[in-house]
Structure 1
Amino acid sequence: MFISEVAQKTNLSIHTLRYYEKEGLLRSIHRNPAGQRIYDASDLEWLAWIQRLKSTGMPLAEIKVFAALRQQGDCSLKERQDLLAKHAVSLKREIERLNQELAIVEYKVDAYAQKQLALE
Protein backbone atom coordinates (compact mmCIF):
# COMPACT_ATOMS: atom_id res chain seq x y z
CA MET A 1 0.00 0.00 0.00
CA PHE A 2 1.08 3.57 -0.62
CA ILE A 3 2.23 6.05 2.03
CA SER A 4 -1.08 7.92 1.95
CA GLU A 5 -2.97 4.72 2.78
CA VAL A 6 -0.57 3.91 5.60
CA ALA A 7 -0.92 7.43 6.97
CA GLN A 8 -4.68 7.02 7.00
CA LYS A 9 -4.59 3.56 8.62
CA THR A 10 -2.05 4.49 11.31
CA ASN A 11 -3.15 8.07 11.99
CA LEU A 12 0.43 9.14 11.35
CA SER A 13 1.21 11.95 8.97
CA ILE A 14 3.08 11.33 5.74
CA HIS A 15 5.76 13.63 7.13
CA THR A 16 6.10 11.39 10.22
CA LEU A 17 6.35 8.25 8.10
CA ARG A 18 9.10 9.83 6.00
CA TYR A 19 10.84 11.00 9.18
CA TYR A 20 10.75 7.48 10.64
CA GLU A 21 12.29 6.17 7.45
CA LYS A 22 14.98 8.87 7.51
CA GLU A 23 15.75 8.07 11.16
CA GLY A 24 16.20 4.38 10.38
CA LEU A 25 13.04 3.12 12.06
CA LEU A 26 11.61 1.91 8.75
CA ARG A 27 14.39 0.25 6.80
CA SER A 28 12.42 -2.33 4.86
CA ILE A 29 10.23 0.02 2.84
CA HIS A 30 10.34 -0.95 -0.80
CA ARG A 31 9.74 1.33 -3.74
CA ASN A 32 7.91 0.61 -6.93
CA PRO A 33 9.44 1.42 -10.35
CA ALA A 34 8.01 4.95 -10.08
CA GLY A 35 9.90 5.45 -6.80
CA GLN A 36 6.80 5.43 -4.60
CA ARG A 37 7.08 3.83 -1.18
CA ILE A 38 5.24 0.52 -0.87
CA TYR A 39 4.31 -0.73 2.59
CA ASP A 40 3.15 -4.21 3.53
CA ALA A 41 1.38 -5.74 6.53
CA SER A 42 4.63 -6.26 8.46
CA ASP A 43 5.40 -2.54 8.09
CA LEU A 44 1.99 -1.72 9.58
CA GLU A 45 2.66 -4.08 12.49
CA TRP A 46 6.04 -2.45 13.12
CA LEU A 47 4.50 1.03 12.95
CA ALA A 48 1.93 -0.05 15.55
CA TRP A 49 4.77 -1.21 17.78
CA ILE A 50 6.63 2.09 17.32
CA GLN A 51 3.45 3.94 18.28
CA ARG A 52 3.06 1.74 21.36
CA LEU A 53 6.64 2.38 22.45
CA LYS A 54 6.16 6.12 21.94
CA SER A 55 2.90 6.08 23.89
CA THR A 56 4.72 4.48 26.83
CA GLY A 57 7.19 7.34 26.82
CA MET A 58 10.16 5.49 25.34
CA PRO A 59 12.55 8.10 23.94
CA LEU A 60 13.15 8.08 20.19
CA ALA A 61 16.82 7.25 20.76
CA GLU A 62 15.83 4.02 22.54
CA ILE A 63 13.26 3.19 19.87
CA LYS A 64 16.07 3.55 17.31
CA VAL A 65 18.20 1.11 19.31
CA PHE A 66 15.27 -1.30 19.47
CA ALA A 67 14.72 -0.91 15.71
CA ALA A 68 18.39 -1.60 14.97
CA LEU A 69 18.30 -4.70 17.17
CA ARG A 70 15.12 -5.84 15.46
CA GLN A 71 16.84 -5.57 12.09
CA GLN A 72 19.49 -8.01 13.34
CA GLY A 73 16.88 -10.74 13.74
CA ASP A 74 16.65 -13.42 16.38
CA CYS A 75 20.29 -13.08 17.41
CA SER A 76 19.27 -9.86 19.21
CA LEU A 77 16.33 -11.28 21.16
CA LYS A 78 18.14 -11.06 24.51
CA GLU A 79 19.15 -7.44 23.92
CA ARG A 80 15.59 -6.51 22.94
CA GLN A 81 14.24 -8.31 25.98
CA ASP A 82 16.69 -6.44 28.22
CA LEU A 83 15.79 -3.09 26.66
CA LEU A 84 12.06 -3.71 27.17
CA ALA A 85 12.60 -4.97 30.73
CA LYS A 86 14.50 -1.80 31.56
CA HIS A 87 11.71 0.27 30.02
CA ALA A 88 9.11 -1.68 32.03
CA VAL A 89 10.94 -0.72 35.24
CA SER A 90 10.80 2.94 34.18
CA LEU A 91 7.09 2.62 33.39
CA LYS A 92 6.38 1.08 36.78
CA ARG A 93 8.20 3.93 38.50
CA GLU A 94 6.21 6.47 36.50
CA ILE A 95 2.94 4.69 37.29
CA GLU A 96 3.84 4.74 40.98
CA ARG A 97 4.66 8.45 40.79
CA LEU A 98 1.40 9.18 38.98
CA ASN A 99 -0.58 7.12 41.52
CA GLN A 100 0.95 9.24 44.29
CA GLU A 101 -0.02 12.42 42.43
CA LEU A 102 -3.52 11.03 41.89
CA ALA A 103 -3.85 10.32 45.60
CA ILE A 104 -3.00 13.95 46.37
CA VAL A 105 -5.55 15.24 43.88
CA GLU A 106 -8.22 12.86 45.16
CA TYR A 107 -7.45 13.94 48.72
CA LYS A 108 -8.03 17.56 47.74
CA VAL A 109 -11.27 16.70 45.91
CA ASP A 110 -12.52 14.95 49.05
CA ALA A 111 -11.42 17.87 51.25
CA TYR A 112 -13.38 20.29 49.08
CA ALA A 113 -16.43 18.01 49.18
CA GLN A 114 -16.22 17.86 52.99
CA LYS A 115 -15.89 21.64 53.20
CA GLN A 116 -18.92 22.10 50.95
CA LEU A 117 -20.97 19.75 53.13
CA ALA A 118 -19.95 21.71 56.21
CA LEU A 119 -21.10 24.96 54.58
CA GLU A 120 -24.55 23.59 53.72
Structure 2
Amino acid sequence: MKEVSKKLGLSQDTLRYYEKIGLIPKINRNKSGIRDYSEEDCKWIEFIKCMRGSGLSIEVLIEYLTLFQKGDESINARKEILIEQRKILINKVEEMQKTIDRLTFKIERYENTVV
Protein backbone atom coordinates (compact mmCIF):
# COMPACT_ATOMS: atom_id res chain seq x y z
CA MET A 1 0.00 0.00 0.00
CA LYS A 2 2.85 2.37 0.81
CA GLU A 3 4.31 1.90 -2.68
CA VAL A 4 0.97 2.47 -4.42
CA SER A 5 0.30 5.46 -2.20
CA LYS A 6 3.55 7.09 -3.28
CA LYS A 7 3.14 6.10 -6.92
CA LEU A 8 -0.37 7.57 -7.18
CA GLY A 9 0.04 10.51 -4.84
CA LEU A 10 -2.72 9.49 -2.44
CA SER A 11 -2.38 8.89 1.27
CA GLN A 12 -2.69 5.38 2.61
CA ASP A 13 -5.66 6.58 4.66
CA THR A 14 -7.38 7.74 1.46
CA LEU A 15 -6.77 4.38 -0.20
CA ARG A 16 -8.17 2.56 2.83
CA TYR A 17 -11.19 4.88 2.92
CA TYR A 18 -11.89 4.42 -0.80
CA GLU A 19 -11.68 0.67 -0.35
CA LYS A 20 -13.90 0.74 2.77
CA ILE A 21 -16.69 2.67 1.06
CA GLY A 22 -16.53 0.52 -2.06
CA LEU A 23 -15.02 3.11 -4.38
CA ILE A 24 -12.11 0.78 -5.10
CA PRO A 25 -13.03 -2.79 -6.02
CA LYS A 26 -11.87 -5.43 -3.55
CA ILE A 27 -8.07 -5.58 -3.54
CA ASN A 28 -6.43 -8.99 -3.49
CA ARG A 29 -4.16 -9.77 -0.59
CA ASN A 30 -1.03 -11.89 -0.48
CA LYS A 31 -0.46 -14.79 1.94
CA SER A 32 0.58 -12.33 4.65
CA GLY A 33 -2.65 -10.37 4.26
CA ILE A 34 -0.94 -7.39 2.64
CA ARG A 35 -2.83 -5.68 -0.16
CA ASP A 36 -1.53 -6.70 -3.57
CA TYR A 37 -2.55 -3.98 -6.05
CA SER A 38 -2.67 -5.06 -9.67
CA GLU A 39 -1.98 -2.77 -12.62
CA GLU A 40 -5.73 -2.66 -13.25
CA ASP A 41 -6.32 -1.61 -9.63
CA CYS A 42 -3.81 1.21 -10.07
CA LYS A 43 -5.47 2.35 -13.31
CA TRP A 44 -8.84 2.43 -11.56
CA ILE A 45 -7.40 4.43 -8.67
CA GLU A 46 -5.81 6.88 -11.13
CA PHE A 47 -9.24 7.30 -12.77
CA ILE A 48 -10.83 7.97 -9.37
CA LYS A 49 -8.11 10.47 -8.49
CA CYS A 50 -8.61 12.30 -11.78
CA MET A 51 -12.38 12.39 -11.40
CA ARG A 52 -12.23 13.49 -7.75
CA GLY A 53 -9.72 16.19 -8.70
CA SER A 54 -12.18 17.55 -11.22
CA GLY A 55 -14.95 17.71 -8.65
CA LEU A 56 -16.93 14.50 -9.13
CA SER A 57 -18.60 13.36 -5.95
CA ILE A 58 -17.86 10.08 -4.29
CA GLU A 59 -21.52 9.15 -4.73
CA VAL A 60 -21.33 9.59 -8.51
CA LEU A 61 -18.14 7.55 -8.65
CA ILE A 62 -19.67 4.75 -6.59
CA GLU A 63 -22.67 4.74 -8.93
CA TYR A 64 -20.28 4.57 -11.91
CA LEU A 65 -18.33 1.69 -10.33
CA THR A 66 -21.55 -0.20 -9.58
CA LEU A 67 -22.57 0.15 -13.22
CA PHE A 68 -19.07 -0.75 -14.42
CA GLN A 69 -19.23 -4.00 -12.46
CA LYS A 70 -22.45 -4.93 -14.30
CA GLY A 71 -20.49 -5.11 -17.54
CA ASP A 72 -21.53 -4.16 -21.05
CA GLU A 73 -25.22 -3.92 -20.19
CA SER A 74 -24.44 -0.66 -18.37
CA ILE A 75 -22.37 1.05 -21.06
CA ASN A 76 -25.07 3.58 -21.97
CA ALA A 77 -25.76 4.45 -18.32
CA ARG A 78 -22.03 4.93 -17.66
CA LYS A 79 -21.71 7.08 -20.77
CA GLU A 80 -24.61 9.26 -19.59
CA ILE A 81 -22.94 9.78 -16.21
CA LEU A 82 -19.73 10.89 -17.92
CA ILE A 83 -21.59 13.18 -20.34
CA GLU A 84 -23.45 14.85 -17.46
CA GLN A 85 -20.25 15.29 -15.47
CA ARG A 86 -18.52 16.77 -18.51
CA LYS A 87 -21.34 19.33 -18.83
CA ILE A 88 -20.88 20.29 -15.19
CA LEU A 89 -17.13 20.68 -15.68
CA ILE A 90 -17.58 22.79 -18.81
CA ASN A 91 -19.84 25.12 -16.85
CA LYS A 92 -17.26 25.34 -14.06
CA VAL A 93 -14.52 26.15 -16.57
CA GLU A 94 -16.67 28.90 -18.10
CA GLU A 95 -17.31 30.38 -14.65
CA MET A 96 -13.62 30.21 -13.80
CA GLN A 97 -12.75 31.92 -17.08
CA LYS A 98 -15.13 34.77 -16.21
CA THR A 99 -13.39 35.12 -12.86
CA ILE A 100 -9.96 35.11 -14.50
CA ASP A 101 -11.10 37.77 -16.97
CA ARG A 102 -12.43 39.94 -14.15
CA LEU A 103 -9.22 39.57 -12.16
CA THR A 104 -7.16 40.41 -15.23
CA PHE A 105 -9.25 43.55 -15.77
CA LYS A 106 -8.79 44.62 -12.13
CA ILE A 107 -5.05 43.96 -12.22
CA GLU A 108 -4.69 45.98 -15.42
CA ARG A 109 -6.60 48.88 -13.83
CA TYR A 110 -4.23 48.83 -10.87
CA GLU A 111 -1.20 48.65 -13.13
CA ASN A 112 -2.47 51.64 -15.12
CA THR A 113 -3.21 53.76 -12.04
CA VAL A 114 -0.24 52.94 -9.84
CA VAL A 115 2.85 55.00 -10.50
Could you tell me the TM-score, scaled by structure 2's length?
0.94
Q: CA deviation at 1:4?
A: 1.5
Task: Pick the aligned partner of 1:63 from 61, 74, 94.
Answer: 61
User: Which stretches of structure 1, 4 residues or more, deviate above 2 A after TM superposition?
Assistant: none
- Summarize deviations over 1:7-50 as a string: whole Å, max 9, x none: 11111111111111101012231112222111100001001000
> Which structure: larger Rg?
1
Equivalent position of 1:12 in the other structure: 10
Structure 1, 85-94 or 67-76: larger mean CA deviation: 67-76
Letter in 2 for 1:37: R
2: CA distance between counterparts of 1:11 and 1:28?
20
Equivalent position of 1:28 in the other structure: 26
**Structure 1 residue runs without a partner (length 5+):** none
SS in 2 for 1:74: helix
2:49 maps to 1:43: no
2: CA distance between counterparts of 1:70 and 1:16?
21
Letter in 2 for 1:63: L
2: CA distance between counterparts of 1:101 and 1:12?
30
1: CA distance between counterparts of 2:105 and 2:66?
45
**Structure 2 residue runs without a partner (length 5+):** none
Size of the aligned set, in residue pairs, is 115
Contact persistence 2:23–2:58 (CA under 8 A): no
Equivalent position of 1:77 in the other structure: 75
Equivalent position of 1:88 in the other structure: 86
Could you tell me the TM-score, scaled by structure 1's length?
0.90
